[in-house]
Amino acid sequence: MSTAPWQAVTALVDQVRRALYDYVRSQDHPVTRDEAADAQHISRNLAAFHLDKLVAAGLLQARYEAPTDQPRGRGRTPKVYEAVPGCIALTIPERRYDLMGEILAQAVAEDPTDARSAALRLAEHRGVAIGRQVGGGGPVAAVLAELGFEPADDEALIRLRNCPFHELAARQTELVCGLNHAFIAGLLDGLGRADLRARLAPSPGACCVQIHPARPTAPAGAEEPPAPGDAQARQR
């Protein structure tokens, strides 16, 4: 999990700082230090201290901007603050409903008559893209941990102790677990890890996907035995 959401939450623990953040966010214009101080009945120096802490935490952005009614070249240009666009989300354990929502929305937009197939394809493509962005050669567990899966290495496989899509999977198990499997398979592909294979292996309290070493290609004409998890997936 990224540390940014934690830094943002920590920055808002202080009541004065939280009040300043709420005030800046409620305004329809960039706020100066003087304006923020007057609104909260505190000194300008204290307002400046807390406003800059909010900038450091990624909650506000700042720049120097002269008031429209100030003649050019007259006086110091004040520093102004405004809320950073977007949102910061923190869930424990980590959830990634935004990722699943983007995949499903794009699938419906691209192919409303067969959104399920489109979603499976898009989930795999998103996994590949993230894997390539991270770059090959790195430990798979570290990438999975950053995505919120809480990987645990056993001797023969990687178990994923957390499902970032848990609430959705509880309601639409077959669909969401299938998308999760496609996403992780694509991620391994993007990371260049042909030695690993994602398998559906549902277990209570954990992610429905496990990562196993890929088996050697079976000789021509030979039937490949089912892997652990594959049989379970077929029974679902």
> What pLDDT sits at residue 235?
42
147 and 103 within one domain: yes
> What pLDDT sits at residue 58?
87
Pick the closest to residue 132 from 124, 153, 161 (CA basis).
124
Residue 91's CB: how many other CB atoms inside 10 A?
A: 13
Mean pLDDT of 190-216: 88
Confidence check: pLDDT of 19 > 90 = yes
30 and 109 within one domain: no
Indicate whether 90 belongs to any domain: no
149: three-class secondary structure by DSSP: coil
**Residue 224 burial class via C-beta count within 10 angstroms: exposed 0-12, middle 13-18, buried 19 and up:** exposed
Confidence check: pLDDT of 77 > 90 = no
Question: Rounded to a whole number, what is the distance in angstroms from the first to the last CA of the chain?
Answer: 31
Tens of pLDDT, residues 118-130: 999 999 999 999 9
Tens of pLDDT, residues 28-56: 899 999 999 999 999 999 999 999 999 99
Indicate whether 199 belongs to any domain: yes
pLDDT category at 23 given cuts 50, 70, 90 is very high
Torsion, Cα 61 64 65 70, to 10 degrees, reads: 150
Summary mean pLDDT of the chain: 84
Percent of the chain past pLDDT 70, that is, above it, reads 82
182 and 68 within one domain: no
Indicate whether 170 belongs to any domain: yes
109 and 71 within one domain: no
d(CA 94, CA 71): 51
Question: What's this model's pTM, rounded to 2 decimal places?
Answer: 0.65
